[in-house]
Structure 1
Amino acid sequence: MIPFNKPYLTGKEAHYMYDAVHTGKLSGNGKYTKLCQQFFEDEYGFKKCLLTTSCTDALEMAAILANIEPGDEVIMPSYTFVSTSNAFVLRGAVIRFIDSKSDQPGLDEDAIEALINKNTKAIVPVHYAGVACDMEKIMNIASKHNLLVVEDAAQAIDSYYTFSDGSRKALGSIGHLAAFSFHETKNIISGEGGLLAVNDERFIKRSEIIWEKGTNRSAFFRGEVDKYGWVDIGSSFLPSETIAAFLWAQLENLEDIQDRRKQHWQMYYDGLKNWAEQYCVQLPNIPSFATNNAHMFYIVCKSMEQRSEIIQQLKDHDIHAVFHYLSLHKSPYYQKKHDGRDLLQSDRFSNNLLRLPLYYELTPQQISEIIKIITDVKG
């Protein structure tokens, strides 16, 4: 059997977790939490990093920091995971869903300004499959209308955006705030886990307070205040030290993991390109301003029927391939709240996109087998 995903262990995870236990501090913000946070700040230029128990928690922290209140409007793609929306709905926001581009599931940047009004508070671009949205365009729009930008970079670890002047920045370092995921399906994992990246200095002090359940506990332990107490809203967003220890083992092997995933991705692309052109199947598009972190390899079939046939053929050979999001504007929860605009590309990706197995231990022979089964499907 070839599963859709298989979590990869570098070999050091259990050792570091054991070491974390023996430090005598398991509740978080210890040795491994600090190592991980410093890694992200040094490697990717984030101004402040805080590990969280999930990307969902990081997004919820971002919504609090953005001071989202009932009636505020937030613009985001409909083709995304529910956590992107939930984080802001929990604060009372009205979500204005935007369509995907025709050649890539990320949001259509050219459709953003038409949705902006006096109630708009934030834009939440989602870097689908780790491929950058046009962040220069988005940040210019945000600056023009005095809006905050929260990057949903759940899938975008170690991926970059190139600006028109040739400069390059890591995804998650461009918006005011950003959220990452270390769920077991991501490139770098800790089972469950996430990260809030804070790039606007206005939010740094408060982010730490929200992270520590609304207390100034971190400042107290640094000797900055004489005592700590409840000074703001917050929650239990801080993960345990064992989660951070597991993550540290992954980060030490980031380059190796990324190299292997990129090899797998390229093998899929090269093996499917001619078939895809012949049978009107869309392969991933990497814009000139984006890099590929090989988080995912997907195909967009010409119809739901074609996708179903490919899924069945793979299943018959014990290979697990899966579709992805259902458009949030058509979800049972939100469809009556949506403003009625058709989001045709989002629906097309919901109906036709298929994700193929992609993980570190996948072999070239297995990828070749998957490619052969798919390319045997004619039309």
Structure 2
Amino acid sequence: MQFGSYVYLIIFMKRIPFNIPPVAGREFDYLREVFEQREFSGNGPFTGRCQDWLRGRIGASDALLTQSCTAALEMSAILAEVGPGDEVIMPSFTFVSTANAVVLRHGVPVFVDIRPDTLNIDEAKIEEAITPKTKAISVVHYAGVCAEMDAVLAVARRYGLVVIEDAAQALLSTYRGRQAGSLGDLACFSFHETKNAMSGEGGALTVNNPSLSERAYIIWEKGTNRRAFKLGTVDKYTWIDCGSSFLPSELTAAVLLAQLEQVERFNEERLAIWDRYHSGLARLEELGLIQRPSVPVHCTSNGHLYYILVERERIRDRLIEQLQQDDIWAPFHYIPLHSAPAGRRYARTHGSLDVTDDASSRLVRLPLHAGMSLSAADCVIEKVERYLRR
């Protein structure tokens, strides 16, 4: 029995939580090495090993660990040279960090609608939202399914825009055989405890446009040319650009390395639950009671999350309440950013966001994590079917 399954059976027999962070098995060994080596601050040996893993596995030109995906998004906004009044096109159906990174540079998030099938940004609506102030396009690979990147990149190249992938949920997902995080100019990953590989908090920035790599390292190390100094290309290091303390500690990197080494196993376990939900809930979709997730044939998912769309918001709220009464924790997801107070203050919308509003009001996320048993998934399916048929 895998360690995660053991934890699940012993601790959570009477309830089904939405998430249990996975344990790979070597975290304590690697943490012990950090203490033995007495190298605790960022950019040490474990940071390097994680970055090598990301470069090799994703195929990015460069990779830099960060304290969070939020930090990686903030670095991306700096690298895209977002400044006062500059606009970045993005979906409203996303976490606040996607927009906050732009607002912190005094830029303007421009929200466009999402597709009704994948809930990713509607690539057909991007071009009409472009103005002379547009600086970048930020796409979100929702639920571990990549956005339609060929179309996004084609528009970006016509207008000379930077493409940023918010790949927080998409580690090892693919689009037309290419890894998420290798598709845009820049990409941001999350290693929060809810993600497929986790370090409690943590993130990474991958750089696919080589012209941005050198500046990325400068921003990453507080705006200094410390890396060039360590490489011997300058005789002293100094402050040369804006930046911040984006590096995580070696303790975080040590935990993350253990997780990255096992993330393919974690993904397989998640996908087994994902498939169980998908087959078990097919009948409800045939009856018109739900809409199941859609994964285009040219994409592969990492099984990050499984959601259903019920008929209306009232049913969504009642379903969540009923599941909680049975100790099954199934939350809704984002409140669209355009409807939030800060969204109305700092951002603008382009066109109708009807799909965003509709989907966000009907969406329920089902429990899913590495180590979850198929019998637990069957229990969730049985309860969902009972409530919705009723």
- Specify the SS of the correspondent of 2:140: coil
Counterparts of residues 344-363 of structure 1 (less than 5 Å): 344-363=354-373
Q: Is residue 2:217 matched to residue 1:217?
A: no
Counterparts of residues 1-379 of structure 1 (less than 5 Å): 1-162=15-176, 168-336=177-345, 337-339=347-349, 341-377=351-387, 378=389
Distance in 2, Cα, partners of 1:254 & 1:276: 31
Distance in 1, Cα, partners of 2:324 & 2:343: 32
Q: Structure 1's 153 and 340: CA in aligned 2 closer, same or farther, altered over 3 A?
A: closer
In structure 1, runs of 5+ residues without a counterpart are: 163-167
Alignment match, 2:9: none
Is the CA contact 2:108–2:348 (under 8 Å) kept in the aligned structure 1?
no
Distance in 1, Cα, partners of 2:80 & 2:260: 29
Residue by residue over 1:325-346, the C-alpha shift from the partner in whole angstroms, topping out at 9 and shown as x without a partner, is: 0110110112255347431111
Distance in 2, Cα, partners of 1:219 & 1:16: 28
CA root-mean-square deviation: 1.1
- Specify the SS of the correspondent of 1:261: helix
With the length of structure 2 as denominator, give the TM-score of the two structures.
Answer: 0.94
Residue by residue over 1:40-92, the C-alpha shift from the partner in whole angstroms, topping out at 9 and shown as x without a partner, is: 11111110000000000000000001111111111000000000000011111
Q: Give identity over the alignment, percent.
A: 46
Shift of 1:368: 0.7
Shift of 1:317: 0.8
Counterpart of 2:296, as a letter, is P
Counterpart of 1:130, as a letter, is G
Distance in 1, Cα, partners of 2:108 & 2:75: 17
Shift of 1:104: 2.0
Counterpart of 2:165, as a letter, is E
Residue by residue over 1:78-133, the C-alpha shift from the partner in whole angstroms, topping out at 9 and shown as x without a partner, is: 00000000001111111110101111211100000111111111000100011011
- Specify the SS of the correspondent of 1:209: helix
Distance in 2, Cα, partners of 1:221 & 1:340: 47
Q: Which moved more, 1:341-350 or 1:71-80?
A: 341-350
Counterpart of 2:318, as a letter, is E
Distance in 1, Cα, partners of 2:282 & 2:338: 32
- Specify the SS of the correspondent of 1:76: strand
Distance in 1, Cα, partners of 2:25 & 2:178: 31
Residue by residue over 1:191-248, the C-alpha shift from the partner in whole angstroms, topping out at 9 and shown as x without a partner, is: 0000000000111000001000011112212222211111111001000001000000
- Specify the SS of the correspondent of 2:291: coil
- Specify the SS of the correspondent of 1:333: helix
- Specify the SS of the correspondent of 1:349: helix
| Count, aligned residues | 374
Shift of 1:277: 2.1
Distance in 1, Cα, partners of 2:386 & 2:98: 37
Is the CA contact 1:134–1:289 (under 8 Å) kept in the aligned structure 2?
no
- Specify the SS of the correspondent of 1:121: strand
Shift of 1:178: 0.5
With the length of structure 1 as denominator, give the TM-score of the two structures.
Answer: 0.97
In structure 2, runs of 5+ residues without a counterpart are: 1-14
Alignment match, 1:165: none
- Specify the SS of the correspondent of 1:361: coil
- Specify the SS of the correspondent of 2:135: strand
Q: Which moved more, 1:335-344 or 1:192-201?
A: 335-344
Counterpart of 1:123, as a letter, is I
Q: Structure 1's 356 and 24: CA in aligned 2 closer, same or farther, altered over 3 A?
A: same
Distance in 2, Cα, partners of 1:191 & 1:311: 26
Q: Structure 1's 140 and 107: CA in aligned 2 closer, same or farther, altered over 3 A?
A: same
Distance in 2, Cα, partners of 1:280 & 1:359: 25
- Specify the SS of the correspondent of 1:125: strand
Distance in 2, Cα, partners of 1:349 & 1:365: 29
Distance in 1, Cα, partners of 2:352 & 2:125: 13
Q: Structure 1's 339 and 130: CA in aligned 2 closer, same or farther, altered over 3 A?
A: closer
